Amino acid sequence: MLNFDTVVPRLLEGRGLNRLVYFREGQRISSKLAERLHDHYYGQVVPCHKSADIPLSIMATQLSSKVDTIVIMSGDSDYVELVRHLKSKGVRVEIAAVMESTANILIEEANYFHPITPEDWFTLSTQKRKISQGKDSKKKRSSS
């Protein structure tokens, strides 16, 4: 899971944050994540039925006259036309994504690219993994 507490300040680079919207595909959304985003960034989580592409594009277009920068956290080439449109409206568009899975054309079209690195993710500690694995092996033994 992405560590918003380290990623968001890095993406902002000292700038103010007007709005954080996290488009989540699927209907199941962690209430803890939603609360955390709201409490720390006045953010909201928007559930998306199938894909976040259309709802994100609509909201970004609606906000384009009210903001100077939009950061899209996706490397999907489906956003190229959105990036072009937003830039034509005078909005600076930044992309934040994992370099290896980001479309080159998206990086080229954006005003700036922020690479998401392994340091930006939460990782389970070795101790937690051992405890978790121990529970799994107990379950397997009891079910056989």
Mean pLDDT over 64-71 rounds to: 94
Amino acid present at 31 = S
CA 92 to CA 110: how far, in whole Å?
A: 8
Domain of residue 44: give its range: 4-143
What pLDDT, on a 0 to 100 scale, did the predictor assign at position 62? 95
Q: Which CATH number fits the domain that encloses residue 95? A: 3.40.50.1010
pTM as predicted: 0.78
- Count up the domains in the chain and report the number: 1
Complete edge-to-edge strand list for the sheet that includes strand 69-72: 69-72, 92-97, 112-115
DSSP string, 60-90: HHHHTTT-SEEEE----GGGHHHHHHHHHTT
Interval 20-30: pLDDT, tens: 888 877 666 67
